[in-house]
Structure 1
């Protein structure tokens, strides 16, 4: 089987030749804000036609219009990662709009109330599991089917967390779900690599998103404490995380699969 990267450019794509993702169709979850919104802007600048997915339509619409105003090709679809039918319909929408799916960035997630695991209500644990683990599993299944049926080869990146790489007593359910996504990533890389579908993950450190601002509000000083242990001594901008995802999705990373890449300012060095 020929599983070399598909680099054929679609002549209808308005992107300039040579962009990191030129000619590709990209599906992004959690794209209404934070890292997902940064990824939508970046992927479009790098030549992809993008479909943005999230639960809040107003946020999706705003980012979509921003991408279009900058000359990119974008659309959006409301998607609840905890709902299997919603996830499948969102991925199918990318194929309906653009005729194919090449790459996907599974970024969407939900947080948890910080604190010891025995203080987390069962319903909250179930919600974190449904969105942060079952959601990426559903998305990968739909994305692999769409890539296989259209582009043939492609790439997927899952967004986990540096907090998944060791014990996480402050966010135990969040960290556990993200660690499980790391395992799913590695398993998928082994399973679908022979078909030419690469699957990787990024594990961001502290990043200036609404989620970490909410954590800071509940646990004042947590951002300073986290960043003080990173050699770069600062939190990341969402675009810096999106850049790592873009590279892993691009053909420049054509021999990279099964990797969980920390993007953490050196925190785990």
Structure 2
């Protein structure tokens, strides 16, 4: 298995994307620690992983609380011996409106919360990875220089901001053997709410791809597991495009 004897921490592990990554990590042999705010969602993913024969533990932690995040990651390392993979899929609250219509405080708060959570969780994992001289930090969303979609509001801006953080982490952590990789997405269609209003959005994502296909949660998990594994050891300080060609990073 690709991730046997590895330890993975997934912030936002109770969500659709985080859960898909956790499933894939566990299926490849990793011991997975799911972190989030909603116990029922975390336990649902953990139960699914255990039923498939994997190892999963959960913890309710506010990713914007540095003390709580650090206490948790220290406990993970004490229990598992290391933290080999850390991924935070907590993103800014999506405000899908024209920028001119978004109240300034709402925009600023959403972006600030996302960046704060990313900075805190990455710092916590990096502290241990630097000591180990190894580890993989995964990010999700990515920066699409060709984005021409109106009405995206703060969503792509939030992804761009997180990607800027990732680039800076790359520079600072590479000398310590820590890899940093972003999964660049054009939209994961089976993560959308199953309502008629989302059909047009799903189709637009498919239409944007030269192959007329769109990534699924299973695709996200499969690529994340490969990138985090030793087979992906040459991939760092970059984005991995999982958009079927719809994005241009």
Fold-level match, TM-score > 0.5?
yes
Q: Flag as ranges the 4+ runs of structure 1 deviating above 6 A.
A: none
Partner of 1:187: 168
Partner of 1:11: none
Residues 81 and 135 of structure 1 are in contact (CA less than 8 Å); yes or no, is this contact kept in structure 2?
Answer: yes
Alignment of 1:209-228 (within 5 A): 209-210=190-191, 212-213=192-193, 217=197, 221-228=200-207
Residues 162 and 262 of structure 1 are in contact (CA less than 8 Å); yes or no, is this contact kept in structure 2?
Answer: no
Alignment of 1:76-155 (within 5 A): 76-149=58-131, 151-155=132-136
Distance in 2, Cα, partners of 1:215 & 1:189? 39
Alignment of 1:33-44 (within 5 A): 33-44=15-26
**Equivalent position SS for 2:241:** strand
- How far has the Cα of 1:147 moved from its partner? 2.0
**Equivalent position SS for 2:76:** helix
**Equivalent position SS for 2:208:** coil
Superimposed CA distance per residue, residues 46-92 of structure 1 (whole angstroms, 9 cap, x where no aligned partner):
01001011221101011111111211111011122333333333323
Distance in 1, Cα, partners of 2:120 & 2:150? 27
Q: 1:205 aligns with which of 177, 182, 186?
A: 186
Quick one: structure 1 residues 144 and 216, their matched pair in 2 at CA, closer, same or farther if it must change by over 3 Å?
A: farther
**Structure 2 portions without partners, runs of 5+:** none
**Structure 1 portions without partners, runs of 5+:** 1-18
More deviation, 98-107/161-170 = 161-170
**Equivalent position SS for 1:134:** helix
Residues 50 and 73 of structure 1 are in contact (CA less than 8 Å); yes or no, is this contact kept in structure 2?
Answer: yes
Distance in 1, Cα, partners of 2:195 & 2:162? 22
Partner of 1:250: 229
Distance in 1, Cα, partners of 2:169 & 2:240? 16
Aligned Cα root-mean-square deviation (Å)? 2.3
Distance in 1, Cα, partners of 2:110 & 2:195? 15
Matched, 1:259 2:227: no
- How far has the Cα of 1:165 moved from its partner? 5.8
Superimposed CA distance per residue, residues 107-152 of structure 1 (whole angstroms, 9 cap, x where no aligned partner):
2224323111121123321332133322111111111012234x43
Aligned length: 248
Distance in 2, Cα, partners of 1:235 & 1:40? 21
Superimposed CA distance per residue, residues 4-55 of structure 1 (whole angstroms, 9 cap, x where no aligned partner):
xxxxxxxxxxxxxxx1111110011111121110111110110100101122
Provide the TM-score with structure 1 as the length reference: 0.83
